[in-house]
Amino acid sequence: MVSPNLIRKQVNAEPLEFNDNTKKLFQIIYSEANRKEEEGENEPKIKVGELISHLSLFYEKIRNAVQYDEDHLLRKNAISRILRRQVIIEGVIKEVDSEKLSQHLLTELIRGGYLPNNAILEKKIAEISVLLDKYLQLKDEVISNINSVLNAKTNISSANKLLQKKNNVIRWLLNLAACEIEENLNPNRVKKIIVGNMFDVLCHDIALPSNSPYSQDLEIQIYLSIGRKFLKLDKDMLSFVLFKYYNENWLDLNKISDKEEKKREIKKIAQRFDALDAKINQQLNHSLSRDLDKIVRRYALYFTILTEAISENPVQAYKLAQEGEKPFSQLIAKICNNKYKNAKSRLWRAGLRSIIYIFLTKSVFVLLIEVPAIKWFGENLNILTLAINISFPAILLLFIILFTRKPGSNNTDKIIAGIKQVTLVGKENKQPIYIKPKRKRRFLTNLIFNLIYTTAFIFSLYLIINVLTAINFTWVSIIIFLFFLAFVSFFSIIVTRGIRELMIVERQENIVTFLVDLFYMPIILVGRWLSGNMSRINVFIFFFDFIIEAPFKILVDVAEDWTRYIRERRDNMES
């Protein structure tokens, strides 16, 4: 007689059947893992002096410390910063040449540690030069059109608006150029396949009601949401996605050798530039984006975990899938647990970096503003309150990090189920997820809710101010404390985002979460408003970009030439 345990084991060992997209993902990851970079081994490469590179690298670390950005955006932002300095600032005193600009850009990126030294082929200079030339031509065409309108204007207000528009256009086009250069420097076949797979799944799983006015925008909005939640693109990079979407042949212009033909195409884009800008802004601020992001965030996590599981060992991952559902689920669970641990470690690193950022850009203002303001208004300087205001941001952020918990096993189970849904034949969603329009509240209901929310916010401030007054805070010190409370509360949301992005289990609502949302959330919202406005007037960024960077980079160029000269003299002596 056959043992029932043996039968159960055989049933459980039935191999998993992946869909075609998942099979293709396995193939791409395997081929990329075994691909050897042999191209250009004997071709000349861009090389810079090691000593000068260390100096530039040190500067870049300081510069990045005063402007908080995610790691994957640092190079793109550096490219944008270099282009703005070369075109806007230094372009005033010298003609901008795309080839020289390309060479200077790649050299600076290598010096700053954004690209490896003696690894980038010199022919990349010409490649980036062609790319830059498009944007410089488009900039000239658009600015020429603006100038023709500006010359006809006699109204000072209208003229000022056009001048502001001209500056914004230049900065925006240079940011787009930075995005295309970043894409050129960092092609990723695996991510391209994943984005395609996600797009196919989401277009199948998400639907709008038949009477929705946004049906024609759904696909591009899904694609943008994938960019936000999976690729972690910022606003400039999303603008570049849309710019390519509305100008299908933009990337093909890099291959056109006929200058006149290229010029005609660029002129066409310049002529409809305002309409193009309006379309891009409309899509970036689309009403579907928030609802889509909530859905796409989960799918982005499924594909991220799946990719990591395959990338660790494609052959082993496929073999486990052939052994049955349980071994493959155990592999996914292992990757999830590793990711939870790594996210906690990254949280501590991000927290440390954030504390440095807050101290450099915000806490210094306590000394620069609080002490003079107290003396100006004739108040007594309290060392205790001063120490609290200086140390409070770091301590608050530290406590928030300490109490941020990792996801649990129920979260892992949901991720495993989600991965099976997007990878296995027969596990697909049978019913689409409908994005329904939000029910509009009545004016009176909305007014009452807003009044309750405002009252809760005022009550929170009242309690905090009473506590601070009890320990002899002056009104100046209280304002500074409240500013930091709001700012750091919002900033903690950014810092802990890595952990929260791994959570797909919905938060359990209870009386504590209700009270936190009612009394603390308004403070976070104020912090978001303050953060957005303070980032525009970051004195340290202005100091680095306009006072320090240009002369520093000139000195670096001179130092590079000098070391090259010394090296040539030494080589002559040896020969």
Residue 109 CB contacts under 8 Å (≥ 6 apart), including other chains: 75, 78, 79, 82, 115
| Rounded-to-integer distance, Cα 342 and Cα 8, Å | 37
**Predicted pLDDT at 496:** 81
Q: Give me the amino acid identity at 50.
A: E
By three-state DSSP, how is residue 228 classified?
A: helix
Report d(CA 74, CA 80) in Å as an integer. Answer: 10
SS3 of 193-204: the string is: HHHHHHHHHHHH
Whole-angstrom CA distances from 554 to 14, 21, 106 are 66, 50, 15
DSSP for 241-294, please give it. Answer: HHHHHH-TTTGGGGG---HHHHHHHHHHHHHTHHHHHHHHHHHHT-TTHHHHHH
Q: How many helices (H) and strands (E) does the chain have?
A: 26, 2
Contact 555, 108 (CB under 8 A): no
H or E segment at 507?
none
Backbone CA torsion sign across 288, 289, 291, 297: positive
Rounded CA gap, 125 and 106, in Å?
Answer: 7
Q: Please give the radius of gyration of the chain, using alpha carbons only, rounded to the nearest integer.
A: 28
Burial (CB count <10 Å: 0-12, 13-18, 19+), residue 524: buried
> Mean pLDDT, 10 residues at a time, over the chain (575 residues)?
43 77 92 68 80 70 65 88 85 76 92 88 93 94 87 73 88 95 91 94 92 91 96 95 94 86 92 94 94 94 94 90 90 93 83 72 63 65 74 80 86 94 89 81 80 84 87 79 80 80 79 73 74 54 58 63 62 59
- Phi, psi (5° rounding) for residue 168? -65, -40
Residue 121, beta-bridge partner list: 45
Q: What is the distance between the alpha carbons of residues 212 and 435, in angstroms, rounded to a whole number? A: 9
Dist. CA 259–CA 115, nearest whole Å: 31
In this predicted structure, what is the pLDDT of residue 542? Answer: 55
CA distance 206 to 269: 33
Write down the pLDDT at residue 475.
77
The encoded tokens of residue 170 equal 């230049």
Cα(502)–Cα(407) distance, integer angstroms: 7
Q: Would you state the structure tokens that stand for residue 142, as one six-digit string?
A: 């658009």
- What is the DSSP annotation of 159-209? HHHHHHHHHHHHHHHHHHHHHHHHHHHS--HHHHHHHHHHHHHHHHHEE--
Q: How far apart are CA 494 and CA 489, in angstroms?
A: 9
Q: Is 49 helix (H, G, I), strand (E, B) or coil?
A: coil
CB 407 within 8 A of CB 505: yes
Contact in structure between 53 and 117 (CB atoms under 8 Å): yes
Helix (H) or strand (E) holding 434: strand 433-434
Distance in angstroms (rounded) separating the CA atoms of residues 22 and 27: 9
Q: Helix axis angle, 289-312 relative to 189-205, nearest 10°?
A: 130
| Phi, psi torsion values for 123, nearest 5 degrees | -65, -15
Find the helix or strand (DSSP H, E) in which 495 lies: helix 475-495
Buried residues in 403-429 as b, exposed as e (16+ CB within 10 A): ebeebeeebbebbbebbbebbbeebee
The phi and psi torsions of 207 (rounded to 5 degrees) equal: -145, 160
Task: Give pairs for 284-289: CB < 8 Å, separation 24+.
Answer: 284/224, 284/235, 284/238, 284/239, 284/242, 286/214, 286/217, 286/221, 286/224, 287/214, 288/214, 288/217, 288/218, 288/221, 288/435, 289/221, 289/224, 289/225, 289/228
Give CA 197 to chain center in angstroms. Answer: 22
Q: Assign residue 506 a region (left: φ > 0; alpha: ψ between -120 and 50; beta: otherwise).
A: beta
Write down how long the chain is. 575
What's the Cα-to-Cα distance from 233 to each of 82, 163, 347, rounded to whole Å? 20, 29, 20
Residue for token pair 């010199």: 122
Question: For residue 569, how many other CB atoms are within 10 A of its CB?
Answer: 10
Tell me if the pTM is above 0.75: yes
